Amino acid sequence: MPRADYSVWYNKARWRHMAKAQLRKEPLCCMCSNNGRIVPATVADHVNPHRGNQNQFWFGKLQSLCASHHNTTKKADELRGFSTEIGIDGYPTDSNHPVYRGSVKRIARIQRTTYHIPDSNVQRLIPSYEYEEEED
């Protein structure tokens, strides 16, 4: 659907109410929080781009972002098709990252381990990867 067709949804009272509710629920930018920074969120963003799908627009999951992350990082990730974020294990956190394509095959097993960051209630998932060399 062309942007002109769905851009009117952002002007509806229903969207404004949903966006305000999201920012009240999560007042800090989730991307900044993941990096240990405390920055107020100013934008309610769709976690998965709706791309003109009305059901996804109205019922899709939202996240709170600062304008900087919404206008740069999130848009770049959507255009690129993957995130360039690197986890604490030194590997990209996004399974769509090109490092997981090609001669090294990622086994479809991600072990979810929860750990706590000191002095914080933040929990993160640490992906665990196993690699096999592809045989020719």
Domain spans in the chain, listed from the N-terminal domain onward: 3-80, 82-136
User: Letter for the amino acid at 82?
Assistant: F
Rounded Cα–Cα distance for residues 104 and 73 (Å): 27
3-state secondary structure of 69: helix
- Please, what is the average pLDDT of the chain? 78
Confidence band (pLDDT; 50, 70, 90) for 18? very high
Angle, vertex CA 106, rays to CA 124 and CA 98, nearest 5: 85
Partnered with residue 132 across adjacent β-strands are: 105
What is the pTM assigned to this prediction?
0.64
Q: Provide the pLDDT for residue 115.
A: 44
